[in-house]
Structure 1
């Protein structure tokens, strides 16, 4: 489970692949090529077949891209991966580029001042992305050209086959709405907008719409495929038919047709307009195929995105139940770790061993899978924001280490994502101040009350302000959307400086400020929160957050003197909920540990 990228981990493999790609580009009369970390569905997580960026460069982060020219290969990564990329790529052949600070068009204009022909795979880039880049390149003499066959695929001799995971049903009582009702709801919205059909390109939209789940992407129970939903509610799904057993087809009914992937092109070219397509998520090629027949396109958001993001009461109930079991599993792990502290010198404990132990606790509580590869960073590894332990990097945990554990589970009623940071015995007291500031930021966001219409960009500063007061910050968003039994990272809502989508009741997001000191330690504390309505004495339409995650937050790293009475009261009340919720699920030994871990901070200072 910790060697998913083993075939990409040898840096010596990548310069020859880069040289071969350049030869392929020259043979096609191309001066460069865009290699994204993306598949045709624009998902954050990709199947092995679509891991082109990792195969070419060695970089395994979940976001980024490479631009290859005859004499340069820039790997564009954001703040989460600037430490990681340096350890994964051959720095003599690939150059990390800070992104989004450096725009790809600006980099290309500097790299190719005389202009050039830059190829891209139109299935791997959205229409909006290509349009923005085209606009930015205007006047540079550089042209973006769609290619018929991806040149990376042409030189990848053992490229894995497309995924074909078996489809299963997601029960209606957990979904809170039948697939037929969802199809009717989306079809009604299409007719009201005057649209004849909509093209769905996101696997989680397809999975949500039809109340199905799959096994095409590791850790994400989505069904990879495209769909066209017509204004009459009929749906055509374009995916490998063998993924759909007879009982699934029967449950979907006659108004849902399963067609092979190659049938998508003729279907798109035979649509009658206006056809709704999302420029932010749909591949550029989808637009081109529809436009090739002169069919009118209505550029608008995927019609399933917002209904999927706003969880109904049944989905929220399932998520709460999942978090009870998950909190118990995390408590068991934290208790087990505390019991190992005294023996660390004599009995080695490694990152992989801890990650496996946590998965063991979760499997005993019924997870279908973990919801993403566990981020378990000890000491300096904790400063790598999305660190992925492998057999090659597996580090022995030492006395005094700060350990960051970011993990989650896929249960039969919901999805979890939680981060806790803890010390292994005596630790450097300099950790207390940043840890406390991170905790204060997490509490500030948890307690936020705000009028309807406020977006994640408006709230992001609440979580950062305590760190900013110390001249500190973190280079990732504060929160991402989370699916209900779907992808642990779900669009479109976020708590981020760039998210302008208003929060609505039922949305579930992460709340995860952090602090990272390169070469030393990392700190992150994460709970999941659900947006709900709150009372206002002025009668205003106000919203706030319900915290779903129930697991203890380490109190040993706190500097109590930095915290206000209100912050301490919040923490004590939260730990009271943790005790009430998960203590009945634990054995006597873990329950005794939890009692001490959740006792009021107010009474100990």
Structure 2
């Protein structure tokens, strides 16, 4: 099984770690240390050896930071993790702060003791974030000091080893384009912009550019490393030598040299006078410092692989359709099983996580989960990013709702789907909120929009029915998804927050409006869909784009107030369910098919 339920960390972890960290600070003559969640590669999911924030504080959320002083400590987390942060950290040791409104930069300016020397690891902080910290520190009379060796790494005596799994080629059958072709066309763009080379430190960029995958990071098939792509399409790849096989060398060919990670710094020293492109949101301040010290002309700009990676080609779209059909079989088997077992009153959230993982494993193609499943019974479903643990594990409530957000990593695609299902008899309120969420989901599925439209411009469509009732949700409506890569992939998204990246054909994005009643229940309906050219509108003046749905799983008809749907909405849902039955029905056993026929019957 991939998912674990005993989350590392907790209050005792912080109690053990803080004295060790403070001893290191004393040796270095520092008054404090800034501890971000991010690792050297700015990953969303971290290898165990990079979980420095969790080791130092006990907090295991995927976003946060800490500032540890000689006599005090502060933990910063956002609204998704407020309760988790409180439960996992020692209250007598950590003061809680909001990461968004009272983040580390705000703390430095408002609360840091004047004259203090606070250390930071330049490998873990992007340059723009560091600039904001330094500006606040200067206003408060505080000195930020770069450390050569992270004090946490020194104090962490049983720190896990760095990952060293072999890197494997990702066949062109799945990628749809050779690495040589990708490197050539991006190199031409660099040359046209007068740039000699681009420094790449994002593992996702390496995975896409070189058509490679790895197992260094949980939930995402990444190999940690760095690269330099030259304008002529040649490249240098810097990874641990034990990750490299003869097969990999042959696959990459003579135009890609492979060196060790320490050689990366030496290569940066040879960039004097050259125009070098680096993405300040993905590369650390350490990389920028090295380039400036070498005398390079640093060009700050977007990683050149981001947009090409977001625009899936025909092979990637075909692959993700296969992956979603395969995943749809697992989902149908799971939802049938759930409907049989949940009324018995014995199922727990962990039982359900194990079950959905088991059905995906039964496909014979699952490589990993795409994220830890969010399995929320009743009030636990009201936390959008809830992760079940042995301590929080709850039985499925009768006459309530159950929310499951889960996904799989397959060689041909990445899936992410949320279904909210009724257990017993749902209340009129539950059905009303569910139908409002569904109306928003359908609106975002059916919309046609002109070229140049961003996800921000579409976000209100998913919220309109909720707004009409005086409701809303606090997370984004849609995130990009990779092709056997990250389940969260930019640069496009659908959210209230302004995004200036237009939606283009080939982009995969989630569609996941929701509603959450604290201490009651949670509702979210999520499909993945991709941008396509839309059928021309008669009499229209402009070419339009639209979405094609990828996810294949029934939406619980028992929770729908049919009278609240328009005719167009009913037609969409009936057509969607007909497609689910047509594609999944022939691939499941007779009892599951009979259940599926009822679950997808026309309204």
Shift of 1:168: 1.4
Correspondence for 1:304: 305
1:221 matches 2:221: yes
Structure 2 CA distance for partners of 1:77 and 1:439, relative to 1, 3 Å: farther
Correspondence for 2:19: 19
Deviation digits for residues 519-565 of structure 1 (CA, Å, limit 9, x no counterpart): 22211111111112222442313222111111111121222333322
In 1: Cα distance, 2:508 partner to 2:592 partner: 29
1:363 matches 2:361: yes
Alignment of 1:425-464 (within 5 A): 425-464=424-463
In 2: Cα distance, 1:376 partner to 1:361 partner: 15
Aligned partner (choices 554, 568, 578) of residue 580 of structure 2: 578
Correspondence for 1:350: 348
TM-score computed with the length of structure 1 as normaliser: 0.95
Deviation digits for residues 356-390 of structure 1 (CA, Å, limit 9, x no counterpart): 11111111112122211111111222122222222
* TM superposition outliers: structure 1 runs of 4+ over 6 Å: none
Give the 3-state SS of the residue equivalent to 2:576 in structure 1: helix
1:323 matches 2:324: yes
Which structure 1 segments of 5+ residues have no match?
none
1:94 matches 2:85: no
Correspondence for 1:522: 522
In 1: Cα distance, 2:252 partner to 2:323 partner: 26
In 2: Cα distance, 1:356 partner to 1:595 partner: 25
Deviation digits for residues 96-117 of structure 1 (CA, Å, limit 9, x no counterpart): 3223233432222222253533
Shift of 1:3: 7.1
In 2: Cα distance, 1:268 partner to 1:161 partner: 26
Give the 3-state SS of the residue equivalent to 1:516 in structure 2: strand
Correspondence for 1:190: 190
In 1: Cα distance, 2:74 partner to 2:516 partner: 25
Structure 2 CA distance for partners of 1:108 and 1:428, relative to 1, 3 Å: farther
Alignment of 1:496-515 (within 5 A): 496-498=495-497, 499-515=499-515
In 2: Cα distance, 1:468 partner to 1:133 partner: 37
Aligned partner (choices 551, 556, 559) of residue 558 of structure 2: 556
Structure 2 CA distance for partners of 1:94 and 1:439, relative to 1, 3 Å: farther
Contact 1:276/1:299, CA 8 A, preserved across alignment? yes
Shift of 1:318: 0.5
Shift of 1:514: 1.6
Between stretches 26-35 and 187-196, larger displacement belongs to 26-35
Shift of 1:186: 1.2
Contact 1:576/1:598, CA 8 A, preserved across alignment? yes
Give the 3-state SS of the residue equivalent to 2:140 in structure 1: coil
Structure 2 CA distance for partners of 1:66 and 1:541, relative to 1, 3 Å: farther
Alignment of 1:50-449 (within 5 A): 50-112=50-112, 114-272=114-272, 273-344=274-345, 348-365=346-363, 366-449=365-448
In 1: Cα distance, 2:116 partner to 2:414 partner: 46
In 2: Cα distance, 1:497 partner to 1:105 partner: 24
Contact 1:2/1:389, CA 8 A, preserved across alignment? no
Shift of 1:236: 0.9
Structure 2 CA distance for partners of 1:96 and 1:478, relative to 1, 3 Å: farther
Which structure 2 segments of 5+ residues have no match?
none
Shift of 1:4: 5.0
Structure 2 CA distance for partners of 1:28 and 1:472, relative to 1, 3 Å: farther
1:544 matches 2:579: no
Contact 1:477/1:497, CA 8 A, preserved across alignment? yes
Give the 3-state SS of the residue equivalent to 1:216 in structure 2: coil
Paired residue total: 598
CA-based RMSD of the aligned residues comes to: 1.9
